[in-house]
Amino acid sequence: MEVAGEVLASESQLHVLAVDDSHVDRKVIEKLLKISSCKVTTVESGARALQFLGLDEEKGSLGFNGLKVNLIMTDYSMPGMTGYELLKKIKRSSAFREIPVVIMSSENILTRIDSCLEEGAEEFLVKPVKLSDVKRVMNDCIMRGETEGNNRRRVDKRKFEDDNHASSSSSSSSSIPSSPSSPLPSSPSTAATSSPLHSLKRAKLRDDN
């Protein structure tokens, strides 16, 4: 595993995990990414990429020295685990599915390209990868990150406003005095009607007189 650039680099730099079984191709993509001001970690296989990510433990996208991975660029044809298989594992992981994955291949096979894009690949680059390709991918990644950040801020703001509204409504309802319950007036018909006992007493008095 090779980590290019200073670990204490600016937080604004994108950290790219480059996966390729060819040492020459790893050096080429590393150089292009460094020219594009990226932090780079290179590994030689899909298995090493999963080990770097800690995918089996689902710990989140933190790897060597706590560097967050912003983008994964992987070769398609590799022994043991292809780039397509690595892509599927990443996209089916709850911790890593949001990380953009770019597939690279020296073979321009349409069915292979379609399969990768349908599985969630951000882009499919045909080797040799050029600096213009890398810069385009970086720009897309930055734009995507800004959009997601703005969406998160909008959601947080909406939640804050909803919480404040709910709190205000609760305070208003608790400040309204409850009206005292007034005694129910007695029914006139009930008051005017004498009880059977009173009627018997009046009848006895008339008989005595």
Average pLDDT estimate for 129-140: 94
Which CATH number applies to 15-145?
A: 3.40.50.2300
Distances (CA, A) of 41 to 1, 26, 30, 121, 161: 7, 10, 8, 19, 41
Beta bridge partner(s), residue 76: none
Indicate the pairing of strand 2-4 with strand 15-19.
unpaired
DSSP state of 97: T
pLDDT of residue 125: 97
Residue 84 has pLDDT above 90, yes or no: yes
Q: How confident is the model at residue 123 (pLDDT cuts 50, 70, 90)?
A: very high
CA dist., res. 45 & res. 74, Å (int): 9
**Where exactly are the structural domains of the chain?**
15-145
Q: How many CA atoms lie within 13 A of 22 on its CB side?
A: 15
Place of tokens 């005595």: 208
Q: Which position has the higher pLDDT, 58 or 117?
A: 117
Retrieve residue 61's tokens. 């996208």
Least confident of 46-55, 113-122, 176-185, 196-205: 196-205
Q: How many CA atoms lie within 13 A of 62 on its CB side?
A: 6
Residue 49 has pLDDT above 90, yes or no: yes
Radius of gyration, CA atoms only, the chain? 37
pLDDT of residue 201: 43
pLDDT of residue 71: 96
Residue 188 has pLDDT above 50, yes or no: no
The pTM score is: 0.66
Q: Which position has the higher pLDDT, 159 or 5?
A: 159
Q: How confident is the model at residue 7 (pLDDT cuts 50, 70, 90)?
A: very low
Cα dihedral: 68, 73, 79, 80 (round 10): 40
Q: What are the DSSP calls for 4-72, one per residue? A: ES-TT--TTS-EEEEE-S-HHHHHHHHHHHHHTT-EEEEESSHHHHHHHHTGGGT--SB-GGGPBP-EE
Average pLDDT estimate for 145-159: 64
* Beta carbons of 56 and 94 less than 8 angstroms apart: no
- Residue-wise pLDDT for 161-173, tens only, equals 666 766 666 665 5
Length of the chain, in residues: 209
Q: How confident is the model at residue 150 (pLDDT cuts 50, 70, 90)?
A: low
Q: Which position has the higher pLDDT, 142 or 29?
A: 29
Q: How confident is the model at residue 2 (pLDDT cuts 50, 70, 90)?
A: low
Considering Cα of 53, then 58, then 60, then 65, what sign does the dihedral take?
negative
Beta bridge partner(s), residue 2: 42
pLDDT of residue 91: 96
